[in-house]
Structure 1
C-alpha cells in the first residue's frame, strides 16, 4: 500500500467532513439567530425554552423532523419526490467547496471558482422542478414554476454583476484573487450601485422576503415543498439556509474584501476567518432586517422589475466599468 497517497487522501476527506459539519451547524444556528432577531424586532422573546436562552432549539427542531414519519402522496412519483430535497441540499453544499475562508483555507482552490459557483447554483433549479412536478399537487407545481422563473431571471443579473467584478480584477475568476485584489480598496466603494443590485438580486435568488413568492403561504400553502414533510422537508430547509449563507459569503468576497480589514496588516488564519464570519453575519442580519421591514411583492412586480429595471441597469454597468478601466490603464 502506498501510504504517501492514502494518508493525504484521508486527511482531505476528514477536512471535507469537518467543513460540512461546521456548515450544517452554522445553518442550524443561523435559523435560531433569525428567530431571535425577528422576535426582538417584533417585541417578543423568540425561542427561549430549550436550553439556556434557547440555544438548543435548533437541535430540538432537527430531532423532531428526524423522528417524524415521512408522508408520501399516493399519486406522487416516489423516486423524484425523494430525490428533489437531496439534490437541493447537495447542490447548496457543493458551492462551499470553492469558498476561501482565509488566505490558505479552501477545500477546492480552482482558478474558475466564480464559474463553479454559477454552474452549481444553476443546478439547484432541478431540485425545485422535481419537487413540484413529482408531488402531483397543484400548489407545489405552481410554486416550482414560480421559483424556476424567478431563479433563472435573477441568475442573469447576478452573473452579469459578478462578471463586472471580474473585469475589475483583470485576471482569472479565482475567489481568493478577488479578495486579495481589494487590499487597497473594497469594491463596494467604487461599485456601490452594483453592490446594492447584487444584494437585491440575492434576496430574489434565495426566495427571501419580500420576494418569497414561491412560498407564499396565503396563495400556495408552502410552495414547491408543500407535500414534503419530516426529513425531506428538513433537507429543503437546510438547503435554503445554506444557499442564503453561501450568497452572503459570496457578497462579502466580491464587495466587502472577504477576510481583509481596512488596515494593511498581517492576520492569522483564525482571525481572518473570524473577520469573514463577522462580515457574513452582517449580510445575513440584513436579510433578516429586510424580511421584518418590507411586505411581500406581487409576482408580476418581481419579474417586471428584473427584466425592465435591474437588467438594463446592470448591462449599462457591464459596458461602463470595463470602458473606465481601459481608459485609466
Structure 2
C-alpha cells in the first residue's frame, strides 16, 4: 500500500515538475508559459496527459510491432523500480540500495537501444546509438562517484547516507569538487541539456523517440522525468540536508541549466568524459580511499 501511494506521488510530482519547467523556461525567455487552463495553467499537465493517453498510436509497416510497444513500457518499469529503494521510515526493506540503483540505471540503455532498433528508422537508430555511447561513457564516472560517497558513508544503503552524511558541511567543504562532478555526470546520464544529444533536433529530428506518439511517448516522458526527480532526491540525500525545499531548488537548477547553456558538440562530450571528468574522479576516488584506510 505504501508503494502504491509512493508511485502516485511520483506521478503527481512529474505532472507539476513539467508545469514548473514550462513556466520557468517561459519567464527566462520573456513569455508567460502555460496560463490558460484554470488559474495560471494549474491543470495544464492534466490536459496534456489526457491528450497523450487518448491519442492514437500509429504503427508503420517497417516497425517491429510487439517490441516497438514493449520498450517504452520497459523504461517506465525501470523508473518505477528505481523508486522502490526510496528510504522511508516505514519502507526500508532493501540492504544494498545503491547497487540496485546502478544496476537499474544501466539496464535503461537496453530500452533506449531497443526503441531505436524496433522503429526501423535511421534517425531513431542514430539517436539510440548516441544514447548508448553517452550513457555507457558517463556510467563509469557515475559509479566511481557513488563508490566514493559509499566509502565515506560506510555502506551501500541509503540509510547510511542519512546517518553518517547528515552533517553535510564536511562534504560541502572538503568534497565540493566531487559534488560538481556528480552534477555534471548526472546531467549527462539523464540526457538533460546541455547534454541532450539523444534528442538533438537540429540533426536527429527527435532522436530515438521520433516515431513514438500517444501512450508510448507518454511512458517515455514519464520515465525521463521520474528519473530526473529520483536522481535529484539522491543528490540532495548525498550532499545536502534532506528537505523538500532543497529538492525543489535542485530541480529548478536543472531547469535553469536547460534554459541557459547551449548544447555541447558530441565530440566535445566524449572528450569531456574520458579526458577530463574520468581522470579527476579517479584521482578523488583514490584520495578518498586512502584517507578512509588511514582513519
- Report the TM-score range of the alignment, normalised by the length of the smaller protein: over 0.9
3-state DSSP class of the match of 2:150?
helix
TM-score (structure 1 length as normaliser): 0.87
Q: CA deviation at 1:76?
A: 0.5
Q: Following TM superposition, where does structure 1 have runs of at least 4 consecutive aligned residues deviating by more than 4 angstroms?
A: none
Q: CA deviation at 1:177?
A: 1.4
Please identify, of 182-191 and 236-245, the stretch whose mean Cα deviation from structure 2 is larger.
182-191
Determine the structure 2 residue equivalent to 1:165: 149
Separation in 2, partners of 1:303, 1:16: 38
Query: For each residue in 1:269-291, what CA deviation from the matched residue of structure 2 results, as whole angstroms up to 9, or x when unmatched?
Result: xxxxxx2x222111111111111
Question: Unaligned 5+ residue runs, structure 2?
Answer: none
Greater gyration radius: 1
Query: For each residue in 1:2-52, what CA deviation from the matched residue of structure 2 results, as whole angstroms up to 9, or x when unmatched?
Result: xxxxxxxxxxxx222111111001011100000011111111110000111
Determine the structure 2 residue equivalent to 1:313: 280
Q: How many residues align structurally?
A: 294
Question: Unaligned 5+ residue runs, structure 1?
Answer: 1-13, 260-274
Say whether residues 1:182 and 2:149 are aligned partners: no
Q: CA deviation at 1:192?
A: 0.6
Question: Contact 2:138–2:188 at 8 Å: present in 1 too?
Answer: yes
TM-aligned CA distance change 1:105 to 1:43, over 3 Å:
farther
Determine the structure 2 residue equivalent to 1:123: 107
Separation in 2, partners of 1:193, 1:155: 18
TM-aligned CA distance change 1:294 to 1:174, over 3 Å:
same
Matches within 5 A, 1:201-220: 201-220=185-204
TM-score (structure 2 length as normaliser): 0.97
TM-aligned CA distance change 1:239 to 1:184, over 3 Å:
closer
Question: Contact 2:168–2:239 at 8 Å: present in 1 too?
Answer: no
Question: Contact 2:166–2:240 at 8 Å: present in 1 too?
Answer: no
3-state DSSP class of the match of 1:188?
helix
Which of 277, 283, 287 lines up with 2:254 in the alignment?
287
Separation in 1, partners of 2:167, 2:55: 53
Determine the structure 1 residue equivalent to 2:119: 135
Say whether residues 1:48 and 2:35 are aligned partners: yes
Matches within 5 A, 1:216-295: 216-257=200-241, 259=242, 275=243, 277-295=244-262
Q: CA deviation at 1:109?
A: 2.8
Separation in 1, partners of 2:122, 2:57: 20
